[in-house]
């Protein structure tokens, strides 16, 4: 029997790898097997298409390409120009953005590009005025010295980590918390929802240079029209980090006030997660910030990764197909079905439900920490991650929450009926796990863990992962 193109491609690749380092080939094969057999519920993970994966393993990896399309510091970049331009074109069309910068290696890199672009555009330092320059590449060492002194007083207002924000929104150990004089806005202690009046009050009092919206563990929509009005009221630049929900924007599930692109001055995102592309980042903005953003390399980034930009172009082209909108809607349908299934079984959910791709379970109701629950679920074939809940008494390491998401299982084809079965498996594990002698230790009957793991595997049998790929 002849093999299809996908199986031939991946089998051949593994054979070539095995000839050099068989242990790497074995690990790659084992990773596919593990992912096929477990319920992947990590909200920030997904499954890229074979075409996207294959676009990363090629000769573009051998090329340096500092600069931008048509303006490189290395010769021979004409083919890199092609794939970078294609990725940017697809991004602009997909999101309705005036400008797209597709070089960032990750979401953190994309945020750094955005921060520095805003600072370079907005800061009015004596050194800049004296030199009468505004472009980062034109600054002298003396200019930079004066600029660094002034940047220490720049202010950022972003969502707090325990309310669902991301560590790059001003969390102290992160570079964003060192670059900026930072303050956080939280959520209503009763509902867990953003209180826009409180955000406006904080903005008036703090007067930030940058107001950041976006999240990594907030299970609701954000009204970006209101957030932009708050930013405008204090003269702040409004930045949105849509890394988690970019696929819902691309699939037109989030529109109007809930689509950040028409409202934000600058938008950052990853290209994996709900967008289902390769691991990487991207920045969208208007013409006012485009020149500064395009200086991301060498301002913040090292050399671009042309092979990943090629994969971004493929994934963004896939996201422009009509069927992606249906996929994005099914992500939310599944997330809401999963939330409803958990609520019926007595689970406590932050905000009481979800509007997006993720659900946040407060596992303190089961007498567990997030770390205990995470590991017990992993023992049972259910892959999740622990996460802080608002005002978390266990902090960011042990936590009191479990974050679960539906992008990956939706890619496999699971629907709302399977989400209810998944809720039952999660509830079974959490109710049968007891706390041990520390916040990390727990007790779970291995026989029960094996039983649930088999049930999870059986549930996935009807929904094979990469069905076109047969490694033999």
Q: What is the pLDDT of residues 184-197, one digit of tens each?
A: 999 999 999 999 99
Q: 312 with 337, same domain?
A: no
pLDDT for position 132 = 42
Say how far apart CA 312 and CA 8 lie, in whole Å. Answer: 23
Confidence check: pLDDT of 393 > 50: yes
Q: Is residue 88 situated within a structural domain?
A: yes
Q: 68 with 190, same domain?
A: yes
pLDDT (tens digit, 9 = 90+) per residue, 208-251? 999 999 999 999 999 999 999 999 999 899 999 999 999 999 99
Q: Is residue 77 situated within a structural domain?
A: yes
Please state the three-class secondary structure of the chain as a single string.
Answer: CCCCHHHHHHHHHHHHHHHHCHHHHHHHHHHHHHHHHCEECCCCCCCCCHHHHHHCCCHHHHCCCCEECCEECCCCCHHHHHHHHHHHHHHHHHHCCCEEECCCCCHHHHHHHHHHHHHHHHCCCHHHHHHCCCCHHHCCHHHHHHHHHHHCCCEEEEECCCCCCCHHHCCCCCHHHHHCEEEEECCCCCCCCCCHHHHHHHHHHHCCCEEEEECCCCCCCCCHHHHHHHHHHCCCEEEEECCCCHHHHHCCCCCHHHCCCCCCCEEEEECCHHHCCCCCEEEEECHHHHHHHCCHHHHCCCCCCHHHHHHHHHHHHHHCCHHHHHHHHHHHHHHHHHHHHHHHCCCCEHHHCCCCCEEEEEHHHHCCCHHHHHHHHHHCCEECEEECCCCCCCHHHHCCEEEEECHHHHHHCCCHHHHHHHHHHHHHHHHHCEECCCCCCEECCHHHHHHHHHHHHHHHHCCCCCCCCCCC
Q: Is residue 102 situated within a structural domain?
A: yes
Confidence check: pLDDT of 153 > 90: no
Q: 340 with 300, same domain?
A: no
Q: 288 with 353, same domain?
A: no
Q: What is the mean pLDDT of residues 346-371?
A: 97
Of 285, 319, 353, the last residue of a domain is 319
Judge whether 71 counts as a catalytic residue.
no
Of 52, 56, 88, 80, the closest CA to residue 314 belongs to 52
Q: How many domains does the chain have?
A: 2
Q: Phi, psi (5° rounding) for residue 360?
A: -115, 115
Of 319, 345, 367, the last residue of a domain is 319
Q: 310 with 448, same domain?
A: no
Judge whether 101 counts as a catalytic residue.
no
Judge whether 321 counts as a catalytic residue.
no
Percent of the chain with pLDDT over 90: 82
Q: 96 with 244, same domain?
A: yes
Confidence check: pLDDT of 53 > 90: yes
Q: Which pair of tokens denotes residue 296?
A: 């991301």
Q: Is residue 15 situated within a structural domain?
A: no
Of 107, 91, 108, the closest CA to residue 99 belongs to 91
Q: 338 with 314, same domain?
A: no
Active-site residue identified among 45, 66, 81, 424: 66
Contact predicate 335/405, CB 8 Å: yes
pLDDT (tens digit, 9 = 90+) per residue, 247-301? 999 999 999 999 999 999 999 999 999 999 999 999 999 999 999 999 999 888 8
Say how far apart CA 90 and CA 318 lie, in whole Å. Answer: 9
| Domain housing 113 | 59-319
Q: Minimum mean pLDDT among 146-155, 245-254, 441-450: which range?
A: 146-155
Active-site residue identified among 18, 37, 63, 64: 64
Q: Is residue 285 situated within a structural domain?
A: yes
Q: 203 with 345, same domain?
A: no
Judge whether 279 counts as a catalytic residue.
yes
Query: For the domain that residue 147 is a member of, what is the CATH number?
Result: 3.40.640.10
Q: 187 with 254, same domain?
A: yes
Active-site residue identified among 36, 273, 330, 386: 273
Active-site residue identified among 109, 241, 355, 418: 241
pLDDT for position 26 = 96
Of 319, 343, 367, the last residue of a domain is 319
Query: For the domain that residue 352 is a member of, what is the CATH number?
Result: 3.90.1150.10
Judge whether 172 counts as a catalytic residue.
no
Of 254, 217, 421, the closest CA to residue 328 belongs to 254
Q: 106 with 221, same domain?
A: yes
Neighbouring C-beta atoms of residue 124, cutoff 10 Å: 8
Q: Is residue 16 situated within a structural domain?
A: no
Q: Which pair of tokens denotes residue 105?
A: 């290696």
Active-site residue identified among 268, 270, 384, 411: 270
Q: 238 with 351, same domain?
A: no
Q: 150 with 241, same domain?
A: yes
Judge whether 64 counts as a catalytic residue.
yes
Confidence check: pLDDT of 152 > 60: no
Contact predicate 199/218, CB 8 Å: no
Q: Is residue 19 situated within a structural domain?
A: no
Say how far apart CA 275 and CA 316 lie, in whole Å. Answer: 8
Report pTM: 0.91
* Cα 182 to chain centroid, rounded: 22
Confidence check: pLDDT of 58 > 80: yes
Q: Is residue 40 situated within a structural domain?
A: no
């Amino acid at each position: 029997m002849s093999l299809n193109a996908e199986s031939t491609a991946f089998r051949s690749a593994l054979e070539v790898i095995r000839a050099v380092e068989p242990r790497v080939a074995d690990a790659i094969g084992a990773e596919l097997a593990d992912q096929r057999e477990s319920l992947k519920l990590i909200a920030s993970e997904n499954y890229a298409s074979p075409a996207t994966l294959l676009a990363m393993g090629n000769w573009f990896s051998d090329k340096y390409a500092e600069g931008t399309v048509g303006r490189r510091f290395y010769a021979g970049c004409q083919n890199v120009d092609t794939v970078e331009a294609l990725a940017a074109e697809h991004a602009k069309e997909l999101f309705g953005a005036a400008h797209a910068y597709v070089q960032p290696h990750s979401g953190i890199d994309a945020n750094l590009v955005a921060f520095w672009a805003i600072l370079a555009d907005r800061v009015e330092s004596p050194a800049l005025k004296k030199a009468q320059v505004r472009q980062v590449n034109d600054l002298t060492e003396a200019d930079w010295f004066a600029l660094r002194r002034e940047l220490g007083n720049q202010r950022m207002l972003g969502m707090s980590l325990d309310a669902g924000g991301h560590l790059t929104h001003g969390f102290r150990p992160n570079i964003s918390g060192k670059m900026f004089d930072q303050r956080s806005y939280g959520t209503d202690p009763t509902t867990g929802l953003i209180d826009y009046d409180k955000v406006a009050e904080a903005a008036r009092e703090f007067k930030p240079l940058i107001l950041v919206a976006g999240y990594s563990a907030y299970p609701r929509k954000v009204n970006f029209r209101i957030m932009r009005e708050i930013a405008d009221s204090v003269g702040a630049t409004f930045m949105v980090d849509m890394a988690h929900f970019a696929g819902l924007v691309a699939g037109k599930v989030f529109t109007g006030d809930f689509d950040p692109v028409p409202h934000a001055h600058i938008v950052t995102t990853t290209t994996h997660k709900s967008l289902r592309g390769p691991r990487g980042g991207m920045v969208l903005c208007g013409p006012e910030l485009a020149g500064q953003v395009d200086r991301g390399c060498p301002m913040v980034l090292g050399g671009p990764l042309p092979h990943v930009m090629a994969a971004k172009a493929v994934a963004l082209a896939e996201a422009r197909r009509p069927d992606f909108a249906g996929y994005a809607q099914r992500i939310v349908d599944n997330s809401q079905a999963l939330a409803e299934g958990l609520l019926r079984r007595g689970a406590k959910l932050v905000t009481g439900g979800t509007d997006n791709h993720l659900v946040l379970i407060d596992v303190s109701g089961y007498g567990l920490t997030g770390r205990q629950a995470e590991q017990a679920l992993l023992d049972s074939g259910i892959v999740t991650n622990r996460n802080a809940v608002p005002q978390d008494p266990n902090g960011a390491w042990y936590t009191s929450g479990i974050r679960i998401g539906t992008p990956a299982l939706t890619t496999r084809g699971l629907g709302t009926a399977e989400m209810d079965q998944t809720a039952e498996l999660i509830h079974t594990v959490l109710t049968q796990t007891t706390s041990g002698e520390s916040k990390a230790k727990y007790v779970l009957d291995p026989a029960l863990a094996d039983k649930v793991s088999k049930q999870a595997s059986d549930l996935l049998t009807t929904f094979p992962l990469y069905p076109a790929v047969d490694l033999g």
